[in-house]
Amino acid sequence: MIAYRKTPYPIAGSLLRYLGAWGRHSTIPVVYEDLLRFSGSIPYEDKAGNETLWQTVMYSPQEWLELRPKLTQIYAQLKIGGDLSFSQHLEVDRVDFGDFGNSKPFRVRIVNRFNDNFDHYYVKRADASRIYGLELEHILSPNRINFLVNEGTLVEEHIAGVPGDVFIRDYLDRPEINRVRIAKEFVKFNERSFLRLLGDMRTVNYVMDITPDFEEVQYRVRPIDFDQQSYEGRHRVYLAQFFRDNFPIVKLVTDLLNKETIQQYQKEERTLMARRRRVSSGRLSVLLRVMSAEELSPIDHVVQLRGELAELANSTAYEKCNTMGEIVKTHMEVMLAGM
């Protein structure tokens, strides 16, 4: 079982110094606890009128008077380096609350009054596991991640894409969808998640980024939830293929790709990850050194995971791992050896 209410871990001094060195630590207003003081809420509905997991929240006039400039300032710091001269025409249009997962996020919608264009960002409780997950995604994946931290507040940029559950429900059976390309991308996504030990990649925790190309459409699966970065003890938690709600895409993989092709795509992803690892070796080494010194999971999870990975890889390299950070470092060394 996955511990959906997992233990939050504070951001220790070494991690805070790392975040400062790489521009992640900021003087953004610390607003998460303030946002919890909403006076009412209504269900947020999608375009089809269906209720979602989000609630649009409301605040008293006095609370809103204090919160609104802080939320605009956060967006300015996240997007334009804190230059408030460009934020006078920005307006906080809506705040939604998600009473789910470990982060219980707030989603803030910002509107440009000149042209009605809008954007979103997320405010969450800062947790060390989530921070490491975001950093590993930024360094090792083909995706860039924009986030800022101050004390107990974490602010994340919106990651655009079709939610995984919506994609499977509304897109997967469309005749124009290239199922082979979707199967290929899922194999590569499954491999990336396992190599850096990002768990719980159910359909609600990733989006499908769909990009038209000159001849075809390209697909990329992007994780949007990093709560389960190297926390659980079972190795299957880190393989998206074993989650029931991913089975429709897993079936595409088994129906459309043979064993040799699957292995080719896995090798491609390992090769790319090995290159990213070399390019960012200095930053990654510092991150893993800080991560290895921290407690990020109960010891029984550490013991279970190192044992399962050692058996799976037929390697004794995991035996001396006493923290999840050490397991992540060793796992990448084992899986990317020779690349």
Extents of the domains making up the chain? 13-157, 162-335
Say what the pTM is: 0.94
232-247 exposure pattern, b = at least 16 Cβ within 10 A, e = fewer? bbebebbbbbebeebe
d(Cα 98, Cα 204) in Å, to the nearest integer? 13
Per-residue pLDDT, 80: 85
Residue 4: pLDDT over 70: no
Answer for the pair 315, 331: CB distance below 8 angstroms, yes or no.
no
Residue in this structure with the two tokens 């910002």, named with its chain if needed: 110
Between the CA atoms of 196, 197, 198 and 200, what dihedral angle is there, to the nearest 10 degrees?
160
Per-residue pLDDT, 317: 97
The DSSP call for residue 7 is P
Per-residue pLDDT, 88: 79
pLDDT digits (tens, 9 = 90+) for 64-122: 999 999 999 999 999 988 777 777 789 999 999 998 877 889 999 999 989 999 999 99
